[in-house]
Chains A and B, each alone.
Chain A
Amino acid sequence: MPDAWAGVAAQRKTLMVWPEWPEPEPQTPAKKASTQRDELRSAAAETLSLVIPLGDEGGVGLEGVRLRIVVWAYKALREVTATLEVEGGRSFVTIARLDGWPIDPHMNVMARGRRSVKHVPMEVVGHHVHRFSDNAKLGLPAFAPDANLPIAVPIPNGLGSFRDFLRTLAVEFNIDGVDQIQPPDWRVML
């Protein structure tokens, strides 16, 4: 496990740019649900992402360290995810992940029988965080794409808004100022 990852997770960080949400991809004129299997329009499944380079608490850029926030373009406060990523592996490695308003439960299958993560519940329903410190106890394989941070714990407080999500993100990932990011302009599907 690279020592630098633990350092990145623990240190105070800042945003190096002020991000703006992109627009969803333009849609072609809506079609009614067709009886033809090939004509399904699935714009409802469009996502929007922010990728923000991070710096240290003095505002000096941290090379290869970034924050990503992913939301559904047309579904407000549903499966909002943030990842803390560092350069490594193929391109970037996710070393921590925060999931707000997840629809499906998370199962801590890798926690079974492991004393190092015995504090982890077997099942997490609702908002949760995949902390670096918990997953590091499983070693480097926990950070490979096919494992993808298998250990998650419920976040201590509930979330009532996108701002709440960002405040939690600021605490969990140690990023100052992240709670000032504006929410995306969530659209309503017509």
Chain B
Amino acid sequence: MIPSSILTPVNDIAAEVARALVRVAGSAECARLSLPLLYPGGSMVGVELSRLRDGFLVSDAGGARREAGLLGGEKAFIRIAKDVAEKFAVRFDRNMIFDLNVPDHELVVAVIAVANAAKTAVENTAIHLTSVEHADFRAHLWDRLEHAYGSRSFERNVRKFQGATEQWDFDAAIQTQGSLALFEIVTAHANSVNSAVTKFLDVRDLGASAPNRVAVLMDVAKTPRLPVLGRTAQILAVDAPDEDYRKAAHRKAA
């Protein structure tokens, strides 16, 4: 708690805030700074300093990799952290983000660099985890559509479409013979089904002018709430034959 009253000069309050922003703990051999940067989840980013024969070792002590591992993204992190570490001019050795033999006069910058690299690497891993699976599936869907319709009638882009109440992104769209079909990838999770149903319902509410809607399922057997999904769109397995893709684009959902 920062003590303040109406009479306390703001610069004194700021000085108290500054003191509270960084915590220091540890021993004469190894000290840890908890810095005002947060990993996803809210933990402050920690950086450790230890003395070497020549200068200091400044490292995240493996904290970033541990946080990424708890997100389920350790493999992605190892790839991402290498690039991020280079960007901040520090090192990454599969376990730790660090710099070695840091001279006294570079310690502040080295601590800032290691801390920001650690935070950025975990954040980028989290963003990657959120997007990569869907991106992989989308590329697969585009391959299938290209195969079924040919590259001339199909663009490998996300399609924005205005529904009855708001605009939605669909994973793909096909315009053939004067009719539009919107495709949405649905994974075998309730969240994915719910998201698709919301989009399809809003498009269906356009009435007679509503385009065809196709839910492309990554795993039909494991996808929950299929009857609900089927009331808003046609259901198509991602590995269905080309002919089924072509039919689905022309057949109206119930």
Contacts and interface: CB of A to CB of B under 8 A. Distances in A.
Contacts of A30: none
Interface string B52-82: 1110010101110110011111000000000
B116 interface: no
Scoring A35, A103, A109, A110 by chain B CB atoms within 10 A of each residue's CB, the highest score goes to A103
B45 interface: yes
B190 interface: yes
Scoring B23, B62, B123 by chain A CB atoms within 10 A of each residue's CB, the highest score goes to B62
A28 interface: no
Given A35-B54, A37-B91, A45-B65, A90 B41 contact: no
B40 A147 contact: yes
B25 A103 contact: yes
A74 to B, nearest CB: 10
Interface in B79-128: 91, 93-96, 98-101, 123, 125-127
Interface residues of A, number: 51
A104 B44 contact: yes
A92 interface: yes
B178 interface: no
Contact of A130 (B32, B34, B41, B125): B41
A64 B191 CA distance: 15
B38 A45 contact: no
A106 interface: yes
Contact of B42 (A49, A90, A109): A109
Contact of B126 (A34, A105, A130, A148): A148
Given A89-B189, A92-B72, A40 B91 contact: yes
Contacts of B40: 145-148, 150
A105 B66 contact: no
A54 to B, nearest CB: 17
A70 B133 CA distance: 25
By DSSP majority rule, is chain B's interface helix, strand, loop, or mixed?
A: mixed
Nearest to A86: B189
A92 B189 CA distance: 11
B226 interface: no
A183 interface: no
Given A90-B129, A92-B72, A45 B44 contact: no
Given A40-B100, A106-B43, A148-B71, A90 B62 contact: no
Contacts of A97: 41, 70
Scoring A35, A104, A140, A144 by chain B CB atoms within 10 A of each residue's CB, the highest score goes to A104
B46 interface: yes
A91 B129 CA distance: 9
Contacts of A38: 91
A90 B69 contact: no
B41 A150 contact: yes
A6 B95 CA distance: 35
Contact of A149 (B41, B95, B133): B41
18 contacts: A4-B190, A37-B101, A44-B62, A45-B61, A46-B62, A46-B95, A79-B66, A88-B189, A89-B130, A90-B72, A94-B72, A102-B43, A104-B34, A105-B43, A145-B73, A146-B126, A147-B40, A150-B41
Nearest 4 interchain pairs by C-beta: A45-B62, A148-B41, A145-B126, A45-B95
Given A33-B52, A106-B43, A148-B40, 15 more contacts: A2-B189, A33-B53, A42-B94, A47-B66, A90-B129, A104-B23, A104-B34, A105-B44, A106-B42, A144-B130, A145-B40, A145-B71, A146-B126, A149-B41, A152-B42
